[in-house]
Amino acid sequence: MTQSPLSYKDAGVDIDAGDALVERIKPLAKKTMREGVLAGIGGFGALFEVPKRYREPVLVSGTDGVGTKLKLAFEWDMHDTVGIDLVAMSVNDVLVQGAEPLFFLDYFACGKLHVDTAAAVIGGIARGCELSGCALIGGETAEMPGMYPAGEYDLAGFAVGAVEKSKILTGKDVKPGDVVLGLASSGLHSNGFSLVRKCIERAAGTLPATLDGKPFRDAVMEPTRLYVKNVLAALAAHPIKALAHITGGGLLENIPRVLPEGTAAQLKKGSWPQSELFAWLQKTAGIDDFEMNRTFNNGIGMVVVVEAAHAEATAATLRSAGETVHEIGAIFARGTGAPVTVG
């Protein structure tokens, strides 16, 4: 008996849907174009020329995902902000080295491609690139039947930036007496969501209607703040010594990554406010302050270390650009204690 022919679509891959998605995202990517882009979406590889204003450019790269925050995006059908998270997690990391993000690539993988969902996600990616001044120069959409449950997808992002070799931030000049400034987060950003989901499960039926003036789900899904433009402006105006992006591991594990040997950061408890969202999570999880500061950003998304003489002016520049800035601590000589303490 002759069997009927099988098409790629019969196997679960819809090439036409993929083509439709590309057409939907082309105008979104076009909005992110900037100097240096020679060839973007559509080719086998994207081309970018490092702007000639750099004398000794060093390329800085970063890659990240969104983590289990995606599980809530699937459950709540909220797909328009996780793309911003994806961009922010990488470009904020690149920024920590003092680098200007130049371009971004994304990887979107799913079992079955739903064009509207994918377009919402990639629209968020384009928005994140636009807000951080980097070009969405390429990416990959992979439809892989049988690899993902229905309605689910995964994301990965890749950012490349540039910094003058003489201006790379390493933290090597940080010394006792320097001031630690904290830039407020927009919320959870994209870390700690395995615990967040457990808290939501524990509090099922008694979830608050609002937190911090927003509907509960909006507060939880608020995208990661993009610090790029404002911090680059501060870097151009002030001698900043170190930056730390507060992601997985919270304040306690990220600040030490930019501290020289023999130094420690002492943060002053209460020097920045705890939002209703973080207070709800702490109460629901029943965890202490130490665990809060090791699991979540707990209200501080980026740390800036400056010499005491420049702290006030640096904070003023950041505030004028729109950041909420708190003086949260100082650098001390490290004895036998932890590299970061809060007290």
* Residue 2 within any structural domain of the chain: no
163 and 183: one domain? Answer: no
The pTM for the full model equals 0.94
Q: What confidence score (pLDDT) does residue 335 get?
A: 87
* Residue 6 within any structural domain of the chain: no
Q: What confidence score (pLDDT) does residue 1 get?
A: 58
Q: How many domains does the chain have?
A: 2
133 and 39: one domain? Answer: yes
247 and 136: one domain? Answer: no
Residue 79, domain extent: 15-167
* Residue 4 within any structural domain of the chain: no
What is the mean predicted confidence (pLDDT) over 319-334?
97
263 and 314: one domain? Answer: yes
140 and 208: one domain? Answer: no
* Residue 308 within any structural domain of the chain: yes
At 331, the pLDDT band (50, 70, 90 cuts) reads very high
Q: What confidence score (pLDDT) does residue 267 get?
A: 98
Q: What angle do CA 315, 318, 323 make, to 5 degrees?
A: 110
pLDDT tens string 232-279: 999 999 999 999 999 999 999 999 999 999 999 999 999 999 999 999
203 and 233: one domain? Answer: yes
Q: What confidence score (pLDDT) does residue 8 get?
A: 66
pLDDT tens string 177-230: 999 999 999 999 999 999 999 999 999 999 999 999 999 999 999 999 999 999
What is the mean predicted confidence (pLDDT) over 69-73?
98
161 and 185: one domain? Answer: no
* Residue 124 within any structural domain of the chain: yes
Mean pLDDT score of the chain, rounded to an integer? 94
Percent of the chain surpassing pLDDT 70: 98
105 and 214: one domain? Answer: no
Query: Looking at residue 45, which CATH number applies to its domain?
Result: 3.30.1330.10
61 and 147: one domain? Answer: yes
Of residues 10 and 102, the one with the higher pLDDT is: 102
Q: Is the model's pLDDT at 98 over the cut of 90? A: yes
* Residue 183 within any structural domain of the chain: yes
206 and 241: one domain? Answer: yes
* Residue 3 within any structural domain of the chain: no
Query: Looking at residue 256, which CATH number applies to its domain?
Result: 3.90.650.10
Query: Counting beta carbons within 10 angstroms of the beta carbon of residue 129, is it exposed (0 to 12), middle (13 to 18) or buried (19 or more)?
Result: buried
Q: What confidence score (pLDDT) does residue 252 get?
A: 97
* Residue 1 within any structural domain of the chain: no
pLDDT tens string 5-61: 877 676 677 777 878 888 887 888 888 888 999 876 777 888 999 999 999 999 999
55 and 190: one domain? Answer: no
141 and 191: one domain? Answer: no
Q: Which of 115, 138, 167 is the last residue of a domain?
A: 167
